[in-house]
Structures are given as C-alpha cells and as structure tokens.
Structure 1
Amino acid sequence: MEVGAVYYNANSQWVLNIVLASMILGVALDIHWRDFKAILKMPKAIIAGLSAQFIALPAVTTGLTLMLDLQAGIELGMILVASCPGGAISNFVTHLSKGNTALSISMTAAASALATFMLPINFVFWSQVNPETAALITSIDVSGQALFINLLIVLAVPLLIGLFIQHRWPEFAKLLHKVLKITSLLALAAFITIAIYRNQDAFMAHFGLIFTVVLAHNAIAFLLGFGAGKYAGLSTRDIKATTIEVGMQNSSLAIAIVFTQFNGEAGMALISAFWGTWHIVSGLLVSFLLSRWGVELSPTVQETRS
C-alpha cells in the first residue's frame, strides 16, 4: 500500500535545521558529568540497556521490515525510529513505574552521547540491509555516506557545544536548557501540527495501518528492554528502567531528521508522528503495570544522582 505525498515546504528547511540543532543542544545542556560517573557503579545494567537500545532493536526492526510487505517509506521510518536514543520523558515514566530513576537518567545521558555516531551508523547500515529501503534512499537521491556525515555533524556539533557550555558555565547552561526545552519543543510541535493539518487526509486514510505497525513495533521495543534486563539478571527496579528506556524512543528527533534529511518523506513522517504520540500513551500504561510489580531496592544503585 502506497502512502500519498505529505505536504512539505522546502523553504522551511533552515528553520527545521535550527530546531533540530536546538533540540540536541538542549539535551546536551542537561547532561552532567556525574551521570557518566554513575555508570561506573552499574556497568551491567547500562550495558544491558544500551545493547538492547542500539544493537537488538535496530536489528530486530530490520528483520521485521523484511518479513512484512510494507511501503518502503514506512519501513525506513521504523528503522529510523529504532536507531534513535530514548527520550528524556522516559526518566519521568520510570519514576512513575517505581523503577530505578538514577539508572534511567544515566542511560539517557549515555544514549544521547552514543547516538551522535550510533544513530547514523545504525540507520545507514540497517537501511542498506533491506533492499526496499536501500532503493528508496537511492531514489530520493540521498547518499548513504553523505547522510552519515550530515547526521554526524547535525548531532555531534550541538552536543559538543552543549557539553562545553554545561562544563564551563553550569548556571548559564541551566537557564539556556530551560529556554531551549520549551522553544524547541513548541517549534517542533507547531511544525508537526501544521503538517498534520495540511495532510489530514493522508493521516486518516492510513491510520489503521500505521497505528497497527507502531503498536506492534513499540511493544517489541518494550519487550527487548525487559528481556535485556531479565537476561542480565538485574533487579526489578533496574529492569523497569531498561524496559521503559528502550521502549520510549526519541521520536521527536526522528521527525526532525525526516524533514531535514528526507524532505518530509510520507511514510517516514507518518511513522515518526504516530510513534511520537503513542509511545507516551504506551509508556504511561507500561509504567502503571510495572508499578504494581515488585518494590525491592537495588543493592548497588542509589535512587538519586550522586
């Protein structure tokens, strides 16, 4: 089933690039070196979660796209979302689940930093494994090498600038983070709202298909996070953190990449937009279920940042 064209205004390209850069800068401004130090106290949990995040999820997602007969843009959108790091809202949802919030925060910090090079590596590599998605990238005249370099620059430069500002001027970083957190999200939300309004027929026409795909894909992500924690023999609270961290992808980042790198490709835009809405709903549902499962404290990890 082909997805119709999605309205895209090329003149807004520079605006979206600024929004994407501000999103990454805002994340970096809230990453503290103590978050990375905390990783040394829980290496097994961090490795388990990040392995599910950056290795298992993209690989399983690509396998899923090879099994299903979907439009290439939808499959490419699934691979892009799977290549993204967890979203910051996962920390709040982990807290609601009575999971290990400190582990969630450390995983988010580590994943955000690793995504600088792991996102382009995973996305370019796995999109070439699937012949359909590889052909789509070629058809829209996007070079895999050029895409890797562009993503690396777009993600790495704001991240490095943010880390430098946070280290050198922590108070200013705190203030700037609060501003960017609001403005970048409002700008992205406004753009998505306009895009959905102008393409409401395309969204509604494919709602059933896209929702089913996102529902199944998101469920797999949660299961991979849960399975990784179980396999690593983590405590209940740590498993809750890995489950939610892997299950809640930074789909806002995926949406920004779709419009800055792929000219708003229809299938990719629909998948990313639906993920952005559904993973919040599913995250809250999962947190409610997990909050009723076990309350023992991890013997090695403190709940608060140290």
Structure 2
Amino acid sequence: MEIGEVYYNASSQWILNIVLASMILGVALDIHWRDFKAIAKMPKAILAGLCAQFVALPAITTGLTLLLDLDAGIELGMILVAACPGGAISNFVTHLAKGNTALSISMTAAASALATIMLPLNFIFWSQVNPDTAALIQSIEVSTSSLFTNLLWVLAVPLASGLLIQHYRPALANVLHKLLKVTSTLALFVFIAVAIFQNYRAFLSNFELIFIVVLIHNGLAYLLGFLAGKYAGLGVRDIKATTIEVGMQNSSLAIAIVFSQFHGEAGMALVSAFWGTWHIASGLLIVLFFSRWGNAQPTVEVKAS
C-alpha cells in the first residue's frame, strides 16, 4: 500500500533543528551525575533494560518490517522510533506504577547519553537491512553519512553542553531547564498541530492501519522490556521500570527528526505522531495493572544518590 505525500515546508527545517537541539539540551540540563553513579549500584538492571532498548527492539522491529507488507515510510518510521531512547515521561509513569523510579531515572539518563551514538548507528544500520527502507532513503536523497553527522551534532553537542552546565552551573541549569522545557515542548506541539491540521486527510485516511501497526509495535516494546527484566532475575519493581522504559519511546524526538532530516516523509510522520499519542495512553493502561502487582512483596529500592 502507498501513502500520499504530506505537506512540508522545507524553509522551516532550520527551525526544527533548533527545536530538536533545545529538546536534547533541556533533557541534559535535568540529568545529574548522580544518575550515572547509580548505575554502579544496579548494573544488571540497567544493562538488561539498555540491551532491550538498543539491541533487541531495533532488531526485532526490523524483522517485523520484513514480515509485513507495509509502506516503506511506515517501516522506516517504525525503525526510527525503535532506535530512539525512552522518554522522560517514563519516569513519571514508573512512579505511578509503583516501580523503581530511581532505576527508571538512571536508565533514562544512560539511554539519553548512549542515544547520541546509538540512535544514528542503529537507525542507519537497520534501515539498510530492509531493502524497502534502504531504497526509500536513497529516493529522498538522504546521505547516511550526512545523516549520522547531522544527528551527532544535534544530539551530542546539546547533551554534552547540558551535562557540563548542570555540573558546573546547577543554578543556571535549573533556570534553563524550566525555560526550555516549556519553550521547546510548546514549539514542537505547535509544529505538530499545524502539520496535522494541514494533513488531516492523510491522518484520517490511514488511521486504522497506523493505529494497528503502532498498537502491535508498542506492545512488542513493552514485552521486550518485561522479558529483559524477568530473565535478568530482577525484582518486581525493577521489572516494572524496565518494561515502561523500553515501552515508552521518545517519539517526540522521532517526530522532530522526521521533519528536520527527512522532509516530513508521510509514513514516518504518521507513525511517529501516532506513537506520541498512543504510548501515553498505553502507559496509563500499564499503570492500572502494574500498580496492583507485587505490592504484597515490597523490595528495597536503590536510591540514585
């Protein structure tokens, strides 16, 4: 099946690059070095979650795209979302689910740092494994080397800057984080709202297909996070954290990348946008079950300090 083109204004690409960079900077400004130090206290749990996040999910997602006969843009969007780190909202959802919030925060910090390298590497590698997605990248004239370099600059530089500011100027970092949290989120929300309004026919005409694809893909991500924690022999609260962290991808990052690097490719934009909405709903559904699971067997939570 084919999806028609979506409206895209190429002149706004530089604005989106700034929005994308500000999103990463805002995240980094809220990451403390103690979040990384906590990794030494629970290495097995964090390693299990990161392996599911950066190894299993992209690989299995690519396998899924090879099995399904979907539009190449949808498949490429699935691979991009799978290559993204977990979103910060996962920490809040883990807290609501009575999971190990300290583990969730440490996983988010580690994943955000690793994503500066792993996101472009994973995306470029796995998109080349699927012949359809590889052909699509060539057809829209995206150089994989240029893509890697661009993403590295947009992801790594803001992350490093934010970590340094947080370490040496924590008061300034606190002010900037509050400012960027509002401005970058608002800017991305406005852009997405405008894009949906301008392309509402494409969204509505493909709603059923995209919803089913995202539902299956998101469910697979939660399952991988659960199995990673389960087979690593983690406790209930830790399993809750790995499940939610892997299941709630940073789809806002994916959306920004689609419009800043891929000229708003239709299938990729649709998948990323639906993920952004659905994973919040699915996260709250997970909370309904997880908040009742394991409460009779309390476990000691390692504090990230």
Task: Please give the range of the TM-score, normalised by the shorter of the 2 chains.
Answer: over 0.9
CA distance in 1, matches of 2:220, 2:148: 26
For 1:305, the equivalent position in structure 2 comes to: 304
For 1:271, the equivalent position in structure 2 comes to: 271
CA distance in 2, matches of 1:60, 1:239: 20
Secondary structure at the aligned position of 2:233 is classed as coil
Deviation at 1:148, TM superposition (A): 1.1
CA distance in 2, matches of 1:2, 1:107: 37
Deviation at 1:150, TM superposition (A): 1.2
For 2:123, the equivalent position in structure 1 comes to: 123
Structure 1 stretches of 4+ moved >6 Å: none
CA distance in 2, matches of 1:160, 1:99: 29
Deviation at 1:298, TM superposition (A): 3.2
Within the alignment, does 1:157 sit opposite 2:121 as a pair? no
CA distance in 1, matches of 2:88, 2:2: 33
| Amino acid aligned to 2:235 | S
Secondary structure at the aligned position of 1:147 is classed as helix
Within the alignment, does 1:232 sit opposite 2:232 as a pair? yes
For 2:179, the equivalent position in structure 1 comes to: 179
| Amino acid aligned to 1:276 | G
Deviation at 1:68, TM superposition (A): 0.1
Whether the 8 Å CA contact 2:165–2:173 is kept in 1: the answer is: yes
For 2:6, the equivalent position in structure 1 comes to: 6
CA distance in 1, matches of 2:102, 2:263: 38
Q: Which aligned pairs between 1:82-97 and structure 2 lie closer than 5 A?
A: 82-97=82-97
CA distance in 2, matches of 1:55, 1:182: 32
Deviation at 1:268, TM superposition (A): 0.2
| Amino acid aligned to 1:305 | A
CA distance in 2, matches of 1:158, 1:3: 34
**TM-score (norm. length: structure 1):** 0.98
Secondary structure at the aligned position of 2:271 is classed as helix
Q: Deviations over 1:200-248 (max 9, x none)?
A: 0000000000000000000000000000000000000000000000000
Q: CA RMSD in A?
A: 0.7
Whether the 8 Å CA contact 1:238–1:298 is kept in 2: the answer is: no
Deviation at 1:143, TM superposition (A): 1.3
For 1:39, the equivalent position in structure 2 comes to: 39
Question: Runs of 5+ in structure 1 lacking a partner?
Answer: none
**TM-score (norm. length: structure 2):** 0.99
Deviation at 1:153, TM superposition (A): 1.2
CA distance in 2, matches of 1:297, 1:9: 53
| Amino acid aligned to 2:154 | V
CA distance in 2, matches of 1:237, 1:212: 29
For 1:189, the equivalent position in structure 2 comes to: 189
Secondary structure at the aligned position of 2:70 is classed as coil
Percent of aligned positions with the same letter in both sequences?
76
CA distance in 1, matches of 2:74, 2:52: 22
Whether the 8 Å CA contact 2:45–2:229 is kept in 1: the answer is: yes
Secondary structure at the aligned position of 1:246 is classed as helix
CA distance in 2, matches of 1:161, 1:98: 33
Which has the higher mean CA deviation after the structures are superposed, 218-227 or 146-155? 146-155
For 1:135, the equivalent position in structure 2 comes to: 135
Question: Runs of 5+ in structure 2 lacking a partner?
Answer: none
Deviation at 1:297, TM superposition (A): 3.4
Deviation at 1:305, TM superposition (A): 3.2
Deviation at 1:144, TM superposition (A): 1.3
Within the alignment, does 1:67 sit opposite 2:67 as a pair? yes
| Amino acid aligned to 1:153 | W
Within the alignment, does 1:222 sit opposite 2:222 as a pair? yes
| Amino acid aligned to 2:299 | S
CA distance in 2, matches of 1:85, 1:248: 9
For 1:250, the equivalent position in structure 2 comes to: 250
Q: Deviations over 1:16-49 (max 9, x none)?
A: 1110000000011011000000110000000000
CA distance in 1, matches of 2:269, 2:122: 19
Secondary structure at the aligned position of 2:263 is classed as coil
| Amino acid aligned to 1:298 | T
Whether the 8 Å CA contact 1:57–1:221 is kept in 2: the answer is: yes
CA distance in 1, matches of 2:250, 2:232: 24
CA distance in 1, matches of 2:140, 2:5: 13
